Structure 1
Protein backbone atom coordinates (compact mmCIF):
# COMPACT_ATOMS: atom_id res chain seq x y z
CA UNK A 1 0.00 0.00 0.00
CA UNK A 2 1.10 3.53 -0.75
CA UNK A 3 -1.84 5.61 0.42
CA UNK A 4 -4.70 5.31 2.89
CA UNK A 5 -7.95 7.22 2.62
CA UNK A 6 -9.56 8.29 5.88
CA UNK A 7 -13.28 9.01 5.98
CA UNK A 8 -14.43 10.98 9.02
CA UNK A 9 -16.51 13.87 10.26
CA UNK A 10 -16.09 17.54 9.49
CA UNK A 11 -17.27 17.90 13.10
CA UNK A 12 -15.24 16.93 16.15
CA UNK A 13 -17.91 14.83 17.86
CA UNK A 14 -18.73 14.87 21.56
CA UNK A 15 -15.95 12.64 22.89
CA UNK A 16 -12.30 13.66 23.11
CA UNK A 17 -11.49 10.00 22.35
CA UNK A 18 -12.50 10.60 18.72
CA UNK A 19 -9.81 13.26 18.37
CA UNK A 20 -7.23 11.06 20.09
CA UNK A 21 -8.02 8.21 17.68
CA UNK A 22 -7.84 10.52 14.64
CA UNK A 23 -4.38 11.69 15.71
CA UNK A 24 -3.17 8.14 16.41
CA UNK A 25 -4.40 6.80 13.07
CA UNK A 26 -3.02 9.69 11.03
CA UNK A 27 0.38 9.60 12.72
CA UNK A 28 0.57 5.84 12.20
CA UNK A 29 -0.27 6.28 8.51
CA UNK A 30 2.52 8.86 8.15
CA UNK A 31 5.04 6.83 10.16
CA UNK A 32 4.46 3.83 7.91
CA UNK A 33 5.32 6.01 4.92
CA UNK A 34 1.80 6.11 3.46
CA UNK A 35 0.14 9.18 2.00
CA UNK A 36 -3.07 10.21 3.74
CA UNK A 37 -5.99 10.94 1.40
CA UNK A 38 -9.03 12.64 2.91
CA UNK A 39 -11.78 15.19 2.30
CA UNK A 40 -9.68 18.36 2.32
CA UNK A 41 -11.22 20.18 5.29
CA UNK A 42 -9.39 22.05 8.04
CA UNK A 43 -12.13 21.52 10.64
CA UNK A 44 -13.46 18.63 12.72
CA UNK A 45 -11.84 15.21 12.70
CA UNK A 46 -10.87 15.83 9.08
CA UNK A 47 -8.64 18.75 10.05
CA UNK A 48 -7.21 16.83 13.00
CA UNK A 49 -6.23 13.94 10.69
CA UNK A 50 -4.50 16.25 8.23
CA UNK A 51 -2.64 18.17 10.94
CA UNK A 52 -1.49 15.00 12.71
CA UNK A 53 -0.17 13.38 9.53
CA UNK A 54 1.59 16.57 8.43
CA UNK A 55 3.18 17.06 11.85
CA UNK A 56 4.49 13.47 11.62
CA UNK A 57 6.17 14.27 8.31
CA UNK A 58 3.51 12.67 6.14
CA UNK A 59 2.12 13.67 2.78
CA UNK A 60 -1.56 14.64 2.81
CA UNK A 61 -3.85 14.94 -0.20
CA UNK A 62 -7.23 16.58 0.28
CA UNK A 63 -10.12 16.25 -2.16
CA UNK A 64 -12.85 18.85 -1.75
CA UNK A 65 -15.89 19.76 -3.84
CA UNK A 66 -15.90 23.42 -4.85
CA UNK A 67 -19.36 23.82 -3.31
CA UNK A 68 -17.97 22.84 0.12
CA UNK A 69 -14.82 24.96 -0.05
CA UNK A 70 -16.21 27.60 2.31
CA UNK A 71 -18.53 25.38 4.35
CA UNK A 72 -15.90 22.79 5.28
CA UNK A 73 -13.08 25.36 5.17
CA UNK A 74 -10.33 24.02 2.94
CA UNK A 75 -7.02 23.20 4.59
CA UNK A 76 -4.29 25.61 3.46
CA UNK A 77 -1.29 23.52 4.54
CA UNK A 78 -1.79 20.30 2.58
CA UNK A 79 0.74 18.65 0.31
CA UNK A 80 -1.96 18.85 -2.37
CA UNK A 81 -5.57 20.05 -2.47
CA UNK A 82 -7.68 18.78 -5.36
CA UNK A 83 -10.91 20.68 -6.03
CA UNK A 84 -13.67 18.74 -7.77
CA UNK A 85 -17.18 19.49 -9.00
CA UNK A 86 -19.27 16.98 -7.03
CA UNK A 87 -19.39 14.51 -4.17
CA UNK A 88 -19.42 11.71 -6.76
CA UNK A 89 -16.17 12.98 -8.23
CA UNK A 90 -14.70 13.36 -4.74
CA UNK A 91 -15.34 9.69 -3.92
CA UNK A 92 -14.11 8.51 -7.31
CA UNK A 93 -10.85 10.43 -6.86
CA UNK A 94 -10.43 9.07 -3.33
CA UNK A 95 -10.77 5.52 -4.64
CA UNK A 96 -8.40 6.24 -7.51
CA UNK A 97 -5.69 7.69 -5.25
CA UNK A 98 -5.99 5.25 -2.34
CA UNK A 99 -5.01 1.66 -1.62
CA UNK A 100 -7.31 1.23 1.37
CA UNK A 101 -10.01 3.02 3.36
CA UNK A 102 -10.51 3.60 7.09
CA UNK A 103 -13.66 5.14 8.54
CA UNK A 104 -13.31 7.03 11.78
CA UNK A 105 -16.43 8.26 13.57
CA UNK A 106 -18.49 10.61 11.45
CA UNK A 107 -21.98 11.35 10.25
CA UNK A 108 -24.04 10.51 7.21
CA UNK A 109 -21.36 11.65 4.74
CA UNK A 110 -18.89 9.26 6.34
CA UNK A 111 -21.44 6.44 6.12
CA UNK A 112 -22.06 7.27 2.46
CA UNK A 113 -18.34 7.08 1.68
CA UNK A 114 -17.85 3.85 3.63
CA UNK A 115 -20.77 2.05 2.04
CA UNK A 116 -20.03 3.17 -1.49
CA UNK A 117 -16.39 2.02 -1.52
CA UNK A 118 -17.32 -1.23 0.25
CA UNK A 119 -20.10 -1.86 -2.28
CA UNK A 120 -17.65 -1.28 -5.14
CA UNK A 121 -15.38 -3.92 -3.57
CA UNK A 122 -18.29 -6.36 -3.25
CA UNK A 123 -19.01 -5.84 -6.94
CA UNK A 124 -15.39 -6.57 -7.78
CA UNK A 125 -14.70 -3.05 -9.06
CA UNK A 126 -11.65 -2.83 -6.80
CA UNK A 127 -9.87 -5.14 -4.35
CA UNK A 128 -8.85 -2.58 -1.71
CA UNK A 129 -9.58 -3.12 2.00
CA UNK A 130 -12.15 -1.10 3.94
CA UNK A 131 -12.11 -0.77 7.70
CA UNK A 132 -14.01 0.76 10.59
CA UNK A 133 -11.98 2.18 13.44
CA UNK A 134 -14.57 1.57 16.16
CA UNK A 135 -13.58 4.25 18.67
CA UNK A 136 -15.22 3.98 22.08
CA UNK A 137 -17.94 1.67 20.70
CA UNK A 138 -19.15 4.32 18.23
CA UNK A 139 -19.91 1.73 15.55
CA UNK A 140 -21.23 -1.05 17.82
CA UNK A 141 -24.86 -0.65 16.70
CA UNK A 142 -23.83 -0.48 13.04
CA UNK A 143 -21.76 -3.66 13.40
CA UNK A 144 -24.78 -5.45 14.89
CA UNK A 145 -26.89 -4.27 11.96
CA UNK A 146 -24.27 -5.45 9.44
CA UNK A 147 -24.23 -8.86 11.12
CA UNK A 148 -28.03 -8.88 10.79
CA UNK A 149 -27.81 -8.23 7.04
CA UNK A 150 -25.78 -11.43 6.65
CA UNK A 151 -27.96 -13.38 9.08
CA UNK A 152 -31.08 -12.40 7.10
CA UNK A 153 -29.34 -13.29 3.80
CA UNK A 154 -29.28 -9.84 2.24
CA UNK A 155 -25.47 -9.86 2.30
CA UNK A 156 -23.27 -12.89 1.72
CA UNK A 157 -21.14 -13.68 4.78
CA UNK A 158 -17.85 -13.39 2.81
CA UNK A 159 -18.94 -9.89 1.72
CA UNK A 160 -19.78 -8.98 5.31
CA UNK A 161 -16.38 -10.30 6.40
CA UNK A 162 -14.60 -8.01 3.92
CA UNK A 163 -15.10 -5.05 6.29
CA UNK A 164 -12.28 -4.95 8.84
CA UNK A 165 -13.42 -3.77 12.28
CA UNK A 166 -10.96 -2.85 14.99
CA UNK A 167 -10.56 -0.34 17.82
CA UNK A 168 -6.80 0.23 17.55
CA UNK A 169 -5.03 2.29 14.87
CA UNK A 170 -1.95 0.08 14.57
CA UNK A 171 -3.98 -3.11 14.52
CA UNK A 172 -6.41 -1.85 11.88
CA UNK A 173 -3.50 -0.91 9.57
CA UNK A 174 -1.78 -4.25 10.21
CA UNK A 175 -4.97 -6.04 9.21
CA UNK A 176 -5.35 -3.88 6.11
CA UNK A 177 -1.77 -4.66 5.09
CA UNK A 178 -2.55 -8.38 5.39
CA UNK A 179 -5.93 -8.17 3.65
CA UNK A 180 -6.76 -10.71 0.96
CA UNK A 181 -9.90 -10.11 -1.11
CA UNK A 182 -12.36 -13.02 -0.98
CA UNK A 183 -12.39 -13.67 -4.72
CA UNK A 184 -15.49 -14.29 -6.79
CA UNK A 185 -18.58 -14.76 -4.63
CA UNK A 186 -21.63 -15.92 -6.57
CA UNK A 187 -24.79 -13.83 -6.32
CA UNK A 188 -27.91 -15.47 -4.94
CA UNK A 189 -29.99 -16.55 -7.93
CA UNK A 190 -32.44 -18.71 -6.02
CA UNK A 191 -33.80 -18.73 -2.50
CA UNK A 192 -31.48 -20.33 0.05
CA UNK A 193 -32.97 -23.29 1.89
CA UNK A 194 -34.63 -22.31 5.15
CA UNK A 195 -33.40 -23.94 8.35
Structure 2
Protein backbone atom coordinates (compact mmCIF):
# COMPACT_ATOMS: atom_id res chain seq x y z
CA UNK A 1 0.00 0.00 0.00
CA UNK A 2 1.40 3.39 -1.03
CA UNK A 3 0.73 5.80 1.85
CA UNK A 4 0.59 9.51 0.98
CA UNK A 5 2.89 11.85 2.90
CA UNK A 6 1.40 14.19 5.50
CA UNK A 7 -0.12 17.08 3.55
CA UNK A 8 0.02 20.70 4.68
CA UNK A 9 -2.32 23.21 3.05
CA UNK A 10 -0.70 26.65 3.12
CA UNK A 11 -2.80 29.79 2.77
CA UNK A 12 -0.83 32.96 1.97
CA UNK A 13 -0.56 36.03 -0.22
CA UNK A 14 -0.64 35.87 -3.99
CA UNK A 15 0.16 39.57 -4.30
CA UNK A 16 2.85 40.86 -1.93
CA UNK A 17 6.35 41.57 -3.15
CA UNK A 18 7.75 42.25 0.34
CA UNK A 19 11.07 40.35 0.51
CA UNK A 20 10.60 39.42 4.19
CA UNK A 21 7.28 37.67 3.49
CA UNK A 22 8.60 36.02 0.33
CA UNK A 23 11.51 34.70 2.39
CA UNK A 24 9.15 33.40 5.08
CA UNK A 25 7.14 31.57 2.41
CA UNK A 26 10.30 29.98 0.99
CA UNK A 27 11.32 28.87 4.49
CA UNK A 28 7.92 27.22 4.97
CA UNK A 29 8.22 25.36 1.67
CA UNK A 30 11.76 24.21 2.50
CA UNK A 31 10.67 22.97 5.93
CA UNK A 32 7.73 21.04 4.45
CA UNK A 33 10.20 19.31 2.13
CA UNK A 34 12.75 18.72 4.91
CA UNK A 35 10.11 16.87 6.90
CA UNK A 36 9.10 14.71 3.94
CA UNK A 37 5.61 16.20 3.87
CA UNK A 38 3.69 17.38 0.82
CA UNK A 39 2.25 20.79 0.02
CA UNK A 40 -1.30 21.63 -0.95
CA UNK A 41 -1.49 25.18 -2.27
CA UNK A 42 -3.71 27.54 -4.20
CA UNK A 43 -2.00 26.56 -7.43
CA UNK A 44 -0.54 29.95 -8.27
CA UNK A 45 3.11 30.60 -9.02
CA UNK A 46 3.23 34.20 -7.82
CA UNK A 47 4.21 35.98 -4.62
CA UNK A 48 4.26 33.95 -1.41
CA UNK A 49 2.18 31.16 -2.97
CA UNK A 50 4.81 30.61 -5.64
CA UNK A 51 7.68 30.83 -3.16
CA UNK A 52 6.20 28.14 -0.90
CA UNK A 53 5.63 25.78 -3.83
CA UNK A 54 8.99 26.38 -5.49
CA UNK A 55 10.92 25.91 -2.25
CA UNK A 56 8.96 22.77 -1.36
CA UNK A 57 9.66 21.28 -4.81
CA UNK A 58 13.33 22.31 -4.69
CA UNK A 59 13.60 20.31 -1.47
CA UNK A 60 11.96 17.27 -3.03
CA UNK A 61 8.41 17.64 -1.69
CA UNK A 62 5.38 16.64 -3.70
CA UNK A 63 3.24 19.69 -4.52
CA UNK A 64 -0.46 19.79 -5.27
CA UNK A 65 -1.81 23.05 -6.67
CA UNK A 66 -5.54 23.76 -6.85
CA UNK A 67 -6.61 26.77 -8.88
CA UNK A 68 -9.91 27.91 -10.39
CA UNK A 69 -9.77 28.36 -14.14
CA UNK A 70 -10.52 32.09 -13.92
CA UNK A 71 -7.24 32.57 -11.98
CA UNK A 72 -5.02 30.38 -14.17
CA UNK A 73 -3.56 33.41 -15.96
CA UNK A 74 -3.97 36.01 -13.19
CA UNK A 75 -2.06 33.97 -10.60
CA UNK A 76 0.13 32.30 -13.24
CA UNK A 77 -0.81 28.67 -12.67
CA UNK A 78 1.92 26.57 -11.07
CA UNK A 79 2.46 24.33 -14.08
CA UNK A 80 5.46 22.76 -12.34
CA UNK A 81 3.23 21.32 -9.59
CA UNK A 82 3.36 17.55 -9.33
CA UNK A 83 -0.41 17.72 -9.59
CA UNK A 84 -2.31 20.79 -10.81
CA UNK A 85 -6.06 20.64 -10.30
CA UNK A 86 -8.08 23.26 -12.20
CA UNK A 87 -11.57 23.84 -10.81
CA UNK A 88 -14.59 25.70 -12.12
CA UNK A 89 -15.13 27.78 -8.95
CA UNK A 90 -13.40 29.11 -5.84
CA UNK A 91 -15.71 26.99 -3.69
CA UNK A 92 -14.57 23.84 -5.47
CA UNK A 93 -10.94 24.94 -5.05
CA UNK A 94 -11.31 25.36 -1.30
CA UNK A 95 -13.15 22.06 -0.90
CA UNK A 96 -10.46 20.13 -2.78
CA UNK A 97 -7.72 21.86 -0.80
CA UNK A 98 -9.47 20.98 2.45
CA UNK A 99 -10.07 17.38 1.36
CA UNK A 100 -6.43 16.86 0.27
CA UNK A 101 -4.88 18.40 3.41
CA UNK A 102 -4.12 16.86 6.78
CA UNK A 103 -3.47 20.26 8.39
CA UNK A 104 -3.65 23.98 7.57
CA UNK A 105 -1.05 26.70 7.97
CA UNK A 106 -1.97 30.34 7.38
CA UNK A 107 0.78 32.83 6.62
CA UNK A 108 0.38 36.59 6.07
CA UNK A 109 -2.04 37.44 3.29
CA UNK A 110 -4.96 39.57 2.21
CA UNK A 111 -8.69 39.06 1.99
CA UNK A 112 -8.45 35.78 0.05
CA UNK A 113 -6.13 34.33 2.69
CA UNK A 114 -8.43 35.56 5.46
CA UNK A 115 -11.46 34.04 3.76
CA UNK A 116 -9.71 30.66 3.45
CA UNK A 117 -8.49 30.82 7.05
CA UNK A 118 -11.92 31.70 8.46
CA UNK A 119 -13.69 29.02 6.43
CA UNK A 120 -11.21 26.35 7.54
CA UNK A 121 -11.32 27.51 11.16
CA UNK A 122 -15.13 27.62 11.16
CA UNK A 123 -15.33 24.18 9.52
CA UNK A 124 -13.16 22.74 12.26
CA UNK A 125 -15.20 24.44 14.97
CA UNK A 126 -18.44 23.11 13.46
CA UNK A 127 -17.06 19.56 13.27
CA UNK A 128 -16.71 19.36 9.48
CA UNK A 129 -13.09 18.32 9.97
CA UNK A 130 -10.74 17.60 12.85
CA UNK A 131 -7.58 18.88 11.18
CA UNK A 132 -5.16 21.29 12.86
CA UNK A 133 -5.53 24.96 11.99
CA UNK A 134 -2.32 26.91 12.64
CA UNK A 135 -1.83 30.62 12.01
CA UNK A 136 1.70 32.04 11.85
CA UNK A 137 1.47 35.61 13.14
CA UNK A 138 4.87 36.67 11.82
CA UNK A 139 5.96 40.10 13.07
CA UNK A 140 2.50 40.76 14.54
CA UNK A 141 0.87 40.69 11.09
CA UNK A 142 -2.44 39.43 12.54
CA UNK A 143 -2.21 41.23 15.92
CA UNK A 144 -5.10 43.61 15.13
CA UNK A 145 -7.30 40.78 13.92
CA UNK A 146 -6.81 38.80 17.10
CA UNK A 147 -7.39 41.85 19.30
CA UNK A 148 -10.77 42.11 17.60
CA UNK A 149 -11.42 38.36 17.96
CA UNK A 150 -10.53 38.59 21.66
CA UNK A 151 -13.09 41.37 21.94
CA UNK A 152 -15.68 39.16 20.23
CA UNK A 153 -14.81 36.44 22.74
CA UNK A 154 -15.15 38.88 25.67
CA UNK A 155 -18.57 39.91 24.35
CA UNK A 156 -19.62 36.25 24.08
CA UNK A 157 -19.90 36.23 20.28
CA UNK A 158 -17.12 33.64 19.95
CA UNK A 159 -17.03 30.73 22.42
CA UNK A 160 -13.87 29.36 24.03
CA UNK A 161 -14.31 26.13 22.06
CA UNK A 162 -13.92 28.09 18.82
CA UNK A 163 -10.88 29.98 20.10
CA UNK A 164 -9.32 26.66 21.10
CA UNK A 165 -9.75 25.37 17.54
CA UNK A 166 -6.95 27.58 16.16
CA UNK A 167 -3.30 27.62 17.19
CA UNK A 168 -1.69 31.04 16.83
CA UNK A 169 2.12 31.12 16.88
CA UNK A 170 4.69 33.81 16.21
CA UNK A 171 7.59 31.86 14.72
CA UNK A 172 8.28 29.15 12.19
CA UNK A 173 9.56 26.54 14.65
CA UNK A 174 6.41 26.85 16.78
CA UNK A 175 4.22 26.56 13.68
CA UNK A 176 5.90 23.33 12.62
CA UNK A 177 5.85 22.00 16.18
CA UNK A 178 2.06 22.46 16.20
CA UNK A 179 1.72 20.81 12.80
CA UNK A 180 4.10 17.98 13.75
CA UNK A 181 2.14 17.15 16.90
CA UNK A 182 -0.86 16.47 14.71
CA UNK A 183 1.22 14.38 12.29
CA UNK A 184 2.30 11.95 15.01
CA UNK A 185 0.53 8.58 14.80
TM-score (structure 2 length as normaliser): 0.92
Report what 2:151 is aligned to: 148
Report what 1:70 is aligned to: 73
Report what 1:7 is aligned to: 11
What SS is found at the alignment partner of 1:20? helix
Q: Map of 1:131-146 to 2, 5 A cutoff?
A: 131-146=134-149
Identify which of 56, 74, 98 aligns with 1:95: 98
Q: Deviations over 1:73-104 (max 9, x none)?
A: 10121111000010000000011000111111
* Structure 1 alignment gaps of length 5 or more: 180-195
Report what 1:182 is aligned to: none
Distance (Å, rounded) in 2 between the aligned partners of 1:151 and 1:59: 42
Deviation at 1:13, TM superposition (A): 4.4
Higher Cα Rg, which structure: 1
Deviation at 1:177, TM superposition (A): 2.8
Deviation at 1:34, TM superposition (A): 1.0
Identify which of 37, 47, 50 aligns with 1:47: 50
Report what 2:83 is aligned to: 80
Q: Deviations over 1:43-94 (max 9, x none)?
A: 1110011111011111110000011111111012111100001000000001
Q: Deviations over 1:99-119 (max 9, x none)?
A: 111111111000000000110
User: Does structure 1 retain, via aligned residues, the 8 Å contact 2:167–2:178?
Assistant: yes
Distance (Å, rounded) in 2 between the aligned partners of 1:69 and 1:17: 26
Distance (Å, rounded) in 2 between the aligned partners of 1:35 and 1:178: 16
What SS is found at the alignment partner of 1:178? helix
Do structure 1's residue 165 and structure 2's residue 163 form an aligned pair? no
What SS is found at the alignment partner of 2:102? coil
Deviation at 1:162, TM superposition (A): 1.6
TM-score (structure 1 length as normaliser): 0.87
Deviation at 1:158, TM superposition (A): 2.3
What SS is found at the alignment partner of 2:157? coil
* Structure 2 alignment gaps of length 5 or more: none
Distance (Å, rounded) in 2 between the aligned partners of 1:170 and 1:61: 23
Q: Aligned pair count?
A: 179
